[in-house]
Structure 1
Amino acid sequence: MLLQPSLHNRNPSISPSLSYSRPLQSRVSQIILRQSSSPFKPPAISCSVSQVHSYNTMDYERRPMVKWNAVFKRISLMENPELGAATVLNQCEDEGKKLTKWELCRVVKELRKYKRYKLALEVYDWMNNRGERFRLSASDAAIQLDLIAKVRGISSAEDFFLKLPDALKDRRIYGALLNAYVRAKMKEKAESLIEKMREKGYAMHALPFNVMMTLYMNLKDYGKVDALVSEMIEKNIQLDMYSYNIWLSSRGAQGSVEGMEQVFEQMKLDSMINPNWTTFSTMATMYIKMGQLEKAEDCLKKVESRITGRDRIPYHYLISLYGTVGNKEETYRVWNTYKSVFPTIPNLGYHALISSLVRIGDIEGAEKMYEEWLSVRTSFDPRIGNLLMNFYVKEGKLDKAEGILDQMVELGGKPNSTTWEILAEGHTKERRISEAFSCFKDAFLADGWKSWRPKPVTLSYFFDLCEEEGNLETKEALVGLLRQSGFLEDKTYSSSVGLSNGALKDEAGSQDEGDGSELLNQLQSSI
């Protein structure tokens, strides 16, 4: 499958051991009260949706350089983001600083870069309320639609689309809505929309086809990927780098070495395409999946030979892929090369290395690199500590996992939902129901009430333990939290954690919606 940078980048050159002397909940709670506080993941078989801003939908007015970053910093560093971006913008104007569209669009671009979508949308809302000053173009509308889908949901994005005047509904607007449908995996709506785009002549370039192929890859409907490629060839629509990379991924995901290599040969014959590092990293991932490790390593050499400029991302992929292959020597060699090229290494780089060393089994090396990261970090990313914590729990070393958490919080880090889920798994293995449930509650609170989706296998083990110990009260309490979060509305998910519809009614049917809120209030007040 396609590695994520293949669709995100427009021009890719693509052991600490502290233990607790008192209950975990109370210690961490006390530490948090004293101190209040995108890493790289190993290549996965997944596709990501092309971003609107990656395809030149921003058409700023040509103006001299201005200090837009001052406005961006004031918005992004707000002590209380709930006040909204409009508060900052109004303050700026009250201070006599008349804001221009160029400045505001540049602020939006930066906010989107750091995934501050809600604030970015609020900037556009502020401009919309001053229509006499700001003329918003079709590209602005496309960006707004993209933001609305991410912040307020698909229904709101559809309403926004319907209210737009026909004069603004160009291929960028349709493309933004298509992106939204594909991100939500809404197959029927995406297929209906692209058919309208065909009728309007908006599907005469590679982008909408790439977006639809991304959808089919995520749905594992590989036959439709081939069908879209055939349509492009029949209509003389030029395949771009992303098209070929998705096609390669589709063939590889089907386990066809020959099919993938046929696509690569066709790619080499295309005079408009020059295979880059993302192509070879994609092929390396597919070869690894199919057990062709020698061919995978040959592709990794080609990845390295195609790194240009000051692009860090290829190094992260090389380190991770060599770790997946199990080649410790090459993992360290690439790491040392990386450090010689760049004076500082971001969290992303350390995450890639430590993850690889854990997979290889070099735990001593992983712990050493973790200590090095602690000494040079500029921000605390809990996902790096989670790598070691997860290993310790799987090895039955819960005390060492707790030591990582203790140190993380002491140094100002904020555990995320995965941190607590890892500890919940560890306590479940040691048959500590109360401690595991406490971790589950912290996981719900860590990243937002409805943002964490617990792993079904972890929940199943916990529910089984509750049944064995006859502790149905705790089981029902966790079911209530899951139901309040909306996860149990997904029948596939609820069955995967061992909860049938009948069981849900028996165990939780007596609770109304207010009980879930009460549980949430209780666990919040317990911190």
Structure 2
Amino acid sequence: MRLQSTINVNGMLEAEEYFEQLCTALKKAACLPLLCGYVVGRDTEKAEALMLKLGGLGLIVNPNSYNEMMNLYMSTSEFGNVPLVVQQMKKNKIPLTGLSYNLWMNANAKLSWFGLVEMVYKEMLNDKNVKVGWSTLSTLDGIYTKAGLVEKGSFALRIADKTVKAVAGRIPYTNYMQILLCLAKLGDIVEAERIFMEWECNCFRYDIRVSSVLLGAYMRNGMTEKAEALHLHTLEKGGQPNYKTWEILMEGRLKSNMDKAVEVMKKGFSVLQDCRWRPLDDTVIAFADYFEKHRNIEDANWYIRVIHLFGFASLTLYKLLLRMGLSAQRSASDILKMMEEDKVEIVEDTYALVQAFKV
């Protein structure tokens, strides 16, 4: 559509001007791309104004625009406005979709209205036009788990598991990852493996995010050999490891093979500059402890410099490097310079280490 192309090439201002020039009949087709543009830009004021205008012209005849507004309110943390959108849909006799119900439940959960979450779910069950699928049940599990209602979350997952098995063989490509996440949470590794193999047979592009779900399930369940075999298999299939792949392998190997964990850590750190991922604090310290234990000051120096470069060095790490430097009779000047740049305060026991270099 021309309006979408205008947004992509020339921006929202020209798209707005183009939209205003359209006749009412053409505006009906063009309104959703314009609204989506406002949602992407989180421009609540313009999105609301457009909805009012479209309503006045009688152009909102399906749920898509309302779902976009709910998405906007969720992304801008205006959770209280989501139920108001649902009210408007009901008033205008616009049918709710599965997405509408999921957004409504999530908004209530964000407001800690867990009683209303269940009310929405029951309403969805009674809606003959909507089928409760695994995505809704997975949404419920996430809501209940975050609220500490583990039993309710597990119950939702068990129902989701039955739903997954009932529709196996008819699963859309884009749903495989969520289904695998659901099965992994339930600990149903055998079924997860079957679904994964089915995905492999049907996929057009090898998405590493899908295989990473099974990789993580293997590692969490202590199935290291299977995890390693799967990793090699994905590489042979042309999968491109991302930060999540390295994180899973790194944390899994920490428990069994530190040499291999160090190898993976270096690969994982190579993608740090391209994403916001940062390893867990415990993982960072575990590698540093390993270098100290094996008196590997060269790797320790490299390690702290990388961590310093990406801005998540800590006093604990610097103390460890100071101890190693002192033991190897190295200069502390570079370490102290990095500490100063990171604004790390030198406390009493660290000060004693620094003074020891001067003796």
Other structure's SS at 1:471 match:
helix
Q: Displacement, 1:386? A: 1.9
Give 1:175-324 correspondences, 5 Å limit. Answer: 175-290=32-147, 291=150, 292-304=152-164, 305-307=166-168, 309=170, 311-323=172-184
Contact 1:390 1:401 in 2 (8 A): yes
- 1:349 and 2:189 matched: no
Other structure's SS at 2:228 match:
helix
- 1:162 and 2:17 matched: yes
Residue from 296, 311, 327 that aligns with 1:459: 311
Residues 194/357 of structure 1: CA separation in 2 closer, same or farther (3 Å cut): farther
Distance 2:126 2:278 in 1: 49
Contact 2:143 2:153 in 1 (8 A): no
Give 1:81-92 correspondences, 5 Å limit. Answer: none
Once the two structures are superposed, residues 201-224 of structure 1 have per-residue CA deviations (whole angstroms, 9 ceiling, x without a partner) of 333431111111112222333221
Distance 1:184 1:470 in 2: 44
Q: Give the residue type in structure 2 aligned to 1:189.
A: K
Residues 313/284 of structure 1: CA separation in 2 closer, same or farther (3 Å cut): farther
Contact 1:214 1:246 in 2 (8 A): yes
Once the two structures are superposed, residues 341-372 of structure 1 have per-residue CA deviations (whole angstroms, 9 ceiling, x without a partner) of 75366434312211333445544543332233
Paired position in structure 2 for 1:516: none
Distance 1:322 1:187 in 2: 37
Which of 224-233 and 188-197 deviates more?
188-197
Paired position in structure 2 for 1:372: 233
Q: Displacement, 1:247? A: 1.5
Q: Give the residue type in structure 2 aligned to 1:331.
A: I
Residue from 182, 194, 197 that aligns with 1:336: 194
Residues 332/266 of structure 1: CA separation in 2 closer, same or farther (3 Å cut): same
Residue from 336, 342, 345 that aligns with 1:470: 336
Q: Give the residue type in structure 1 aligned to 2:192.
A: V
Paired position in structure 1 for 2:251: 391
Residues 417/159 of structure 1: CA separation in 2 closer, same or farther (3 Å cut): same
Other structure's SS at 1:372 match:
helix
Q: Which runs of 5+ in 1 are unaligned?
A: 1-139, 442-457, 480-527
Distance 1:278 1:297 in 2: 10
Distance 1:306 1:372 in 2: 27
Other structure's SS at 2:201 match:
coil
RMSD: 4.2
Q: Displacement, 1:226? A: 0.8
Q: TM-score, normalised to structure 1's length?
A: 0.49
Contact 2:35 2:47 in 1 (8 A): yes
Give 1:375-454 correspondences, 5 Å limit. Answer: 375=236, 377-383=237-243, 385-391=245-251, 399-404=259-264, 417-418=274-275, 422=279, 426=284, 430=288, 435-438=303-306
Once the two structures are superposed, residues 262-289 of structure 1 have per-residue CA deviations (whole angstroms, 9 ceiling, x without a partner) of 2122223223223233323322333333
Q: Give the residue type in structure 2 aligned to 1:170.
A: K
Q: Give the residue type in structure 2 aligned to 1:381.
A: P
Distance 1:408 1:464 in 2: 22
Residues 210/145 of structure 1: CA separation in 2 closer, same or farther (3 Å cut): farther
Residues 351/320 of structure 1: CA separation in 2 closer, same or farther (3 Å cut): same
Contact 1:277 1:314 in 2 (8 A): no
Distance 1:178 1:399 in 2: 52
Other structure's SS at 2:138 match:
helix
Please identify the structure whose Cα radius of gyration is greater.
2
Q: Give the residue type in structure 2 aligned to 1:336.
A: R
Paired position in structure 1 for 2:326: none
Q: Give the residue type in structure 2 aligned to 1:173.
A: A
Seq. identity, %: 17
Other structure's SS at 1:237 match:
coil
Contact 1:393 1:426 in 2 (8 A): no
Residues 437/207 of structure 1: CA separation in 2 closer, same or farther (3 Å cut): farther
Distance 2:33 2:336 in 1: 52
Contact 2:219 2:252 in 1 (8 A): no
Q: Give the residue type in structure 2 aligned to 1:167.
A: L
Contact 2:74 2:82 in 1 (8 A): yes
Residues 349/236 of structure 1: CA separation in 2 closer, same or farther (3 Å cut): same
Distance 1:145 1:298 in 2: 46
Distance 1:189 1:315 in 2: 36
Contact 1:241 1:275 in 2 (8 A): yes
Contact 2:180 2:195 in 1 (8 A): no
Q: TM-score, normalised to structure 2's length?
A: 0.68
Q: Which runs of 5+ in 2 are unaligned?
A: 290-299, 323-334, 344-359
Contact 2:243 2:268 in 1 (8 A): no
Contact 2:288 2:317 in 1 (8 A): no
Other structure's SS at 1:222 match:
coil
Q: Give the residue type in structure 2 aligned to 1:332.
A: V
Distance 2:135 2:42 in 1: 24
Q: Displacement, 1:227? A: 1.0
Distance 2:20 2:153 in 1: 54
Residues 146/318 of structure 1: CA separation in 2 closer, same or farther (3 Å cut): same
Distance 1:215 1:363 in 2: 42
Residue from 142, 150, 169 that aligns with 2:3: 142
Contact 1:232 1:238 in 2 (8 A): yes
Q: Which has the higher helix share?
A: 2
Once the two structures are superposed, residues 499-520 of structure 1 have per-residue CA deviations (whole angstroms, 9 ceiling, x without a partner) of xxxxxxxxxxxxxxxxxxxxxx
Distance 2:61 2:160 in 1: 34
Distance 1:298 1:420 in 2: 31
Q: Displacement, 1:183? A: 2.0
